[in-house]
């Protein structure tokens, strides 16, 4: 059992519901492992606590073993035992909590989407703190993420700091304010939070009803540092249109709230070494990219007779946030403009899933369109590598990783100007002089309708078809942009250090 830090750096413990590649649903998983790796590289001791899901990618965990430590944690008036496992993922020490609770919280064959998700993750948040307490950890920072582990912040200050787990500052990152985990007050009480004390408009009470508790609001109120995943999104969520009901709370706590643009794991997402690709390539030799495109076309049964027919890619969760009506439109527009279209997407929303299943069926033998409606890591790499263009027409987008991954693989992004897309995709044709030429890397649009989308998409097609050399230069430019975590991890490091030194200064005064 790793105890507390002996290195001069900080001791940071992340408590989260996802981590790539073992348990990844979306961007949160990518961020967890990439940010942790970047902080570890800077000399900090980073540990991670995850639920032990039955459906994890176990082959990505080294030396998984059960610890000789049974942690008992409180839930619904009783104590429950938890088995604690430890293993190494991507070089990082990870604790996995297996609750020995009759509801078998993490034996459901999936990460999220269960009717009792609130119980599953509030139980986990409490058990994670109990683990740190019983193991005698003295972290400098406990970093929790999204509503699933937002409970950590109030639990820490109300229950665990008084018990002696009090060395840490709490950092909360919200990766998407759409998901707040709001629930009736009585349900949130199960994990031991004192609801009478917390159910107030300035604490955890949801704006929609006095009987509902909002875990994300609680984490904003009770954390020392609150971040979200891009500067533009941080501004958007402070407005009544973008704040999903939390703008008032975010404004009240504005002095501790910042937006830091995510990076991507540039070792993992690297076309020059990517083991999922048939042909590796780099910005100076794009032969492999063309070969991958042909291989993907062959694999999906698409026509490969014309290598100059642009392939448009899209890899996404199919939820309203992602602009599903524009994704659907893009399929038809690609055909009209003489392109090919490949969508890799899965949807937790039944009517969207049905709609796309119908479209997939309609095009199942088409020579220029293929829809693959599932989650498939290997295929995602081939699509990034094969795409000439990549669409991200989101209605809102906290950060978005796919535009950055696409660029790393030489696919030109066509993105709506919102959230993190607005901080990472800059229009090559923009007449805004404040954006330097070297940053201009794609095509953007503002109005989320078909006309708005075409305004960017058609320009991309024109460029591709009329200026081969210029297009190649653009590919070269986007592949050389630094999307690594170095800069962003330094910003987190700075926030952690400031918060820790403020706490130490306050202790000295006291
Ligand atoms: P979000 O977190 O909202 O889903 P992001 O753009 O931040 O969106 O992150 C999406 C991540 O999930 C990327 O790494 C992307 O490649 C991956 N992804 C999304 N859908 C699929 C899919 N169907 N198959 C494989 N990977 C996917």
Lateral strand order in the sheet of 443-445: 369-372, 340-346, 311-317, 389-392, 412-416, 443-445
**Pocket of ligand 1, beta carbon within 6 A:** 26-27, 30, 315-317, 344-346, 375-377, 380, 399-402, 405
CA 406 to centroid of ligand 1, rounded, Å: 12
Q: Are residues 171 and 303 in the same domain?
A: no
Q: Are residues 106 and 145 in the same domain?
A: yes
276 in a structural domain: no
Q: Which of 103, 113, 145 is nearest to 128 (CA)?
A: 145
75 in a structural domain: yes
Strands 45-51 and 92-99: parallel
Tally of CB atoms within 10 A around 481: 14
330 in a structural domain: yes
Q: Are residues 202 and 133 in the same domain?
A: yes
The residue nearest atom 19 of ligand 1, judged by CA position, is: 316
d(CA 328, CA 321): 14
Count of structural domains within the chain: 2
Identify whether the C-beta of residue 4 lies closer than 8 Å to the C-beta of residue 132.
Answer: no
ipTM rounded to 2 decimals? 0.99
Cα 116 to Cα 72, 79, 122, 211, 319, distances in angstroms: 21, 19, 10, 18, 21
State the CATH number of the domain containing residue 458. 3.40.50.2000
Q: Which of 419, 323, 289, 314 is nearest to 371 (CA)?
A: 314
Which string of DSSP letters, residue by residue, matches 306-368? -TTSPEEEEEEE-SGGG-HHHHHHHHHHHHHTT-EEEEEEE-SSHHHHHHHHHHHHHTTT-SS
Encoded tokens for 441: 């890397």
Q: Are residues 189 and 330 in the same domain?
A: no
Residues of the domain holding 297: 287-483
The residue nearest atom 26 of ligand 1, judged by CA position, is: 377
d(CA 416, CA 342): 19
Encoded tokens for 439: 């940053």
Q: Which residues pair with 444 in a beta bridge?
A: 415
d(CA 4, CA 250): 33
Residue pLDDT tens, the chain, 510 long: 544 445 579 999 999 999 999 999 988 999 999 999 999 999 999 999 999 999 999 999 999 999 999 999 999 999 999 999 999 999 999 999 999 999 999 999 999 999 999 999 999 999 999 999 999 999 999 999 999 999 999 999 999 999 999 999 999 999 999 999 999 999 999 999 999 999 999 999 999 999 999 999 999 999 999 999 999 999 999 999 999 999 999 999 999 999 999 999 999 999 999 999 999 999 999 999 999 999 999 999 999 999 999 999 999 999 999 999 999 999 999 999 999 999 999 999 999 999 999 999 999 999 999 999 999 999 999 999 999 999 999 999 999 999 999 999 999 999 999 999 999 999 999 887 888 888 999 999 999 999 999 999 999 999 999 999 999 999 999 999 999 999 999 999 999 999 999 998 888 887
The residue nearest atom 15 of ligand 1, judged by CA position, is: 402
253 in a structural domain: yes
101 in a structural domain: yes
Q: Are residues 339 and 476 in the same domain?
A: yes
Residue 507 CA neighbour count, 13 Å, CB half: 10
Q: Which residues pair with 80 in a beta bridge?
A: 73
d(CA 10, CA 141): 8
458 in a structural domain: yes
Q: Are residues 369 and 456 in the same domain?
A: yes
Please enumerate in sequence order all residues whose Cβ is within 8 A of that of 67, keeping only pairs 6 or more positions apart, or say none.
1, 84, 85, 86
Q: Are residues 312 and 244 in the same domain?
A: no
Identify whether the C-beta of residue 85 lies closer than 8 Å to the C-beta of residue 67.
Answer: yes
444 in a structural domain: yes
CA 124 to centroid of ligand 1, rounded, Å: 24
455 in a structural domain: yes
Cα 203 to Cα 12, 39, 236, 253, 314, distances in angstroms: 26, 31, 22, 12, 40
Q: Are residues 239 and 297 in the same domain?
A: no
Cis peptide before 105 (omega within 30 of 0): no
Encoded tokens for 288: 């492999």
Q: Report the nearest atom of ligand 1 relative to the CA of 402.
A: 6
């Amino acid at each position: 059992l790793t105890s507390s830090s002996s290195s001069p750096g900080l001791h940071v413990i992340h408590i989260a519901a996802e981590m790539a590649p073992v348990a990844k649903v979306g961007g949160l998983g990518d961020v967890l492992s990439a940010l942790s790796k970047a902080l570890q590289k800077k000399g900090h001791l980073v540990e991670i606590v995850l639920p032990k899901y039955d459906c994890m990618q176990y082959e990505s965990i080294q030396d998984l073993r059960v610890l000789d430590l049974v942690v008992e944690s409180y839930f619904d008036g009783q104590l429950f035992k938890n088995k604690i496992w430890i293993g190494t993922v991507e070089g990082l020490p990870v604790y996995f909590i297996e609750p020995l609770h009759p509801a078998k919280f993490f034996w459901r064959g999936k990460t999220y989407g269960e009717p009792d998700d609130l119980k599953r993750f509030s139980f986990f948040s409490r058990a994670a703190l109990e683990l740190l307490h019983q193991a005698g950890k003295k972290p400098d920072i406990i970093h929790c993420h999204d509503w699933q582990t937002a409970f950590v912040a109030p639990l820490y200050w109300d229950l665990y700091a008084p018990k002696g787990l009090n060395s840490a500052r709490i950092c909360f990152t919200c990766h998407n304010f759409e998901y707040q985990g709001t629930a009736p007050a009585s349900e949130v009480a199960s994990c031991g939070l004192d609801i009478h004390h917390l159910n107030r408009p300035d604490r955890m009470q949801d704006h929609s009803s006095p009987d509902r508790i909002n875990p994300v609001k609680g984490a904003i109120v009770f954390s020392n540092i609150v971040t979200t995943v891009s500067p533009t999104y941080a501004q958007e969520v402070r407005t009544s249109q973008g704040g999903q009901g939390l703008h008032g709370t975010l404004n009240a706590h504005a002095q501790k709230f910042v937006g830091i643009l995510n990076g991507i794991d540039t070792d993992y997402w690297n076309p020059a070494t990517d083991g999922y690709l048939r042909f590796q390539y780099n910005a100076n030799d794009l032969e492999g990219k063309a070969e991958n495109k042909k291989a993907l076309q062959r694999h999906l049964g698409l026509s490969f007779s014309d290598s100059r027919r642009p392939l448009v890619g899209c890899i996404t969760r199919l939820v309203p946030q992602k602009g599903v009506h524009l994704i659907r439109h893009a399929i038809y527009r690609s055909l009209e403009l003489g392109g090919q279209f490949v969508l890799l997407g899965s949807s937790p929303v039944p009517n969207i899933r049905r709609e796309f299943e119908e479209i997939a069926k309609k095009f199942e033998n088409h020579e220029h369109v293929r829809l693959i409606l599932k989650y498939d890591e290997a295929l995602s790499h081939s699509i990034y590598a094969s795409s000439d263009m990549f669409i991200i027409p989101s209605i809102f987008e906290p950060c978005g990783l796919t535009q950055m991954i696409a660029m790393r693989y030489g696919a030109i992004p066509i993105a709506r100007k919102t959230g993190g897309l607005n901080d990472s995709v800059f229009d090559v044709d923009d007449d805004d002089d404040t954006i330097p030429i070297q940053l201009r890397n794609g095509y953007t649009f503002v109005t989320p309708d078909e006309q708005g989308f075409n305004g960017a998409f058609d320009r991309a097609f024109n460029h591709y078809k009329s200026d081969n050399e210029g297009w190649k230069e653009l590919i070269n430019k986007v592949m050389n942009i630094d999307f690594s975590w170095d800069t962003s991890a330094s910003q987190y490091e700075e926030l952690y250090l400031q918060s820790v030194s403020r706490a130490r200064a306050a202790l000295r005064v006291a």
